[in-house]
Structure 1
Amino acid sequence: MISLLPVLNILYVDAPVGTGYSYSKTQEGYYSNDEQLVEHMYDFFHKWLVDHPEFRSNPLYIGGGSYSGIVVLPLVQKVYEDYETGRSPILNIQGLVLASPRLDSFMDNNTKVEFAHQRTLISNELYESIKSNCNGDYVNLDPNNTKCMSDYEAYTELVRYINEYQILEPSCVIAPKENQRILSQELNYIHQTKFRCRDDLYAIGELWANDPHVQKALQVREVNSNNYSFN
Structure 2
Amino acid sequence: MAFAATVLTLYPEMFPGPLGQSLAGRALADGIWSLEAVQIRDFATDKHRSVDDTPAGGGAGMVMRADVLASAVDLVLERQRDAPMLAMTPRGEPLTQGLVREIASGPGISILCGRFEGIDERLFEARPIRPVSIGDYVLSGGETAAIALLDACVRLLPGVMGAPSSGEEESFEAGLLEYPHYTRPYEWEGRRIPEVLRSGDHAKIAAWRKQMAEADTRSRRPDLIERHGGARRRSPSGAQREDEG
Q: TM-score, normalised by structure 1?
A: 0.25
Structure number with the higher strand fraction is: 2
* Higher RCO (CA < 8 A, seq sep 6+): 2
Asked which structure has the greater CA Rg, the reply is 1
Structure number with the higher helix fraction is: 1
Q: TM-score, normalised by structure 2?
A: 0.24
